[in-house]
Amino acid sequence: MKVIDALGHGFQTVARRWWLILIPVLLDALLWMGPSISVQELAQEAIATFEGELAALPAEGGDLWLTEVGETLGQAMAEYNVFSALRVGMLGIPSLLIWGSARLGALSSYEGMWVWFLQILNLPDLLDAVPRAPFALPAVWQVQSEGIWLLLTLGFSLLGTAIGCIYLTSLNPASSSRDDEEEDDEAALQRPSFWARVGKLAARFVLFWLLRTVVLVLLGIPFVLALGLLSMISGQLMLLFASITIGLFLWLSFYGTFVLAAMVVNDVSVLRAIWNSIGVVLRNFWSTLWLFILINLISGGLTILWQQVSHGAWTGLAIIGNAYIGTSLIAASLLYYQDRYTRWQEALAELLAKQREQAT
């Protein structure tokens, strides 16, 4: 299956099974028209305390910069909705409402790159969040303490993980192909139920997230220390080291493109999913890179386009369109991984068969 074929089959899959877009549509509908949980008052109190402590210190050249940072943060927190934690970016659920700098939501990988790219180009207008529905007057609940905010964010993140795993399990091309084929009773009984697969995927995703966080912290501490030491020697040397290190990290992380896809399609553990992802990318590096570029261009570009037409009731159509495109691209990536993994296993089986023949 070529990259273009995978994209075509992804769109065909969602066209046949249109209900797959319901989760991203309902999530954006909640963020657009539903009640919101705000931390604006909490943020204003923290900023006021910070400004008071800053005023008590001797005047320095950096005070103006810190004040501007506080104002920018205050404006962003005024738009922040704690319900946005329901969308866990790593799980890939497309969302039009969680985009840009104002929502402070968990961006997916392609969204994060587009935000970085547009900030470099100094095009902040393309990063504005979609405004809430002007014809609705939803309730706004203010969070009164940092502890409650933390608990709500954690709870919504766990709930969002469950929702995201239901979404990805529904998109699993392996289970959909089994449903389309005739399956005997014994095989059907041995196959895990839908909810069992959702539970295993959620547990493995949380484990993968924790493992990833630990690795980033362990690698980040010496990286920051090295930057500090190099900054004392030479600013240019520090920038060179940072550029090389970040480039190396991005190159290595590219081999983990299909970790989540492996957990969904193959129903395997975290370590096995990492191995499968590395194996598929190693054997299909350039086509995987082409798929990655296309998905990023289509997803990020169309998200910006949907934003520009999101005015009033038109936002509803933009939400549906964004959900359809985003879900189709996720289905395409799962189909591509399934095809390339199957090819890998078939080639491996043929090689082992030849070795057995030669041994006998």
Q: What is the C-alpha separation between 266 and 204, in angstroms, rounded?
A: 12
Q: pLDDT grade, residue 142 (50/70/90)? A: confident
Q: What digits encode the pLDDT tens for the residues 332-347? A: 999 999 999 999 999 8
Q: What is the C-alpha separation between 241 and 232, in angstroms, rounded?
A: 13
For 47-73, b where at least 16 C-beta lie within 10 A, e where not — what string?
beeeeeeeeeeeeeeeeeeeeeebeee
Tokens 């939803």, residue? 138
Higher pLDDT, 167 or 246: 167
Helices (H), the chain: 3-16, 22-33, 40-56, 63-79, 109-120, 146-171, 173-180, 185-190, 194-233, 235-254, 259-265, 270-283, 285-308, 314-359
Q: What digits encode the pLDDT tens for the residues 218-254? A: 988 988 888 888 888 887 888 888 889 988 988 988 9
- Non-local CB neighbours of 104 within 8 Å, separated by 6+ positions: 76, 77, 79, 80, 84
Residue 281's identity, in one-letter code, is V
Q: What is the C-alpha separation between 30 and 182, in angstroms, rounded?
A: 39
Q: pLDDT grade, residue 109 (50/70/90)? A: low
Residues paired with residue 140 on neighbouring β-strands, in sequence order = 36
The pTM of the whole model exceeds 0.75: yes
Exposed (0-12), middle (13-18) or buried (19+): which is 329, by Cβ within 10 Å?
buried
Phi, psi for residue 38 in degrees, rounded to 5: -105, 150
Exposed (0-12), middle (13-18) or buried (19+): which is 177, by Cβ within 10 Å?
exposed
Tokens 């890179």, residue? 289
Q: pLDDT grade, residue 132 (50/70/90)? A: confident
Phi, psi for residue 140 in degrees, rounded to 5: -120, 115
Q: What digits encode the pLDDT tens for the residues 285-321? A: 999 999 988 988 888 788 878 877 777 778 889 899 9
Residues paired with residue 141 on neighbouring β-strands, in sequence order = 37
| CA angle centred on 108, ends 130 and 103, rounded to 5° | 30
pLDDT exceeding 90 applies to what percent of the chain?
36
Structure tokens at 43: 């943020």
Q: Domain-by-domain residue ranges, the chain?
A: 3-39+80-359
Q: What is the C-alpha separation between 10 and 298, in angstroms, rounded?
A: 13
| CA angle centred on 159, ends 161 and 24, rounded to 5° | 70
Indicate whether 181 pLDDT > 60: no
Residues paired with residue 36 on neighbouring β-strands, in sequence order = 140
| Nearest partner of 107 among 94, 125, 126, 122, judged by Cα | 94
Q: CB of 280 within 8 A of CB of 337?
A: yes
Q: CB of 20 within 8 A of CB of 14?
A: yes
Q: Reduce the DSSP state of residue 132 to 3 states and report it.
A: coil
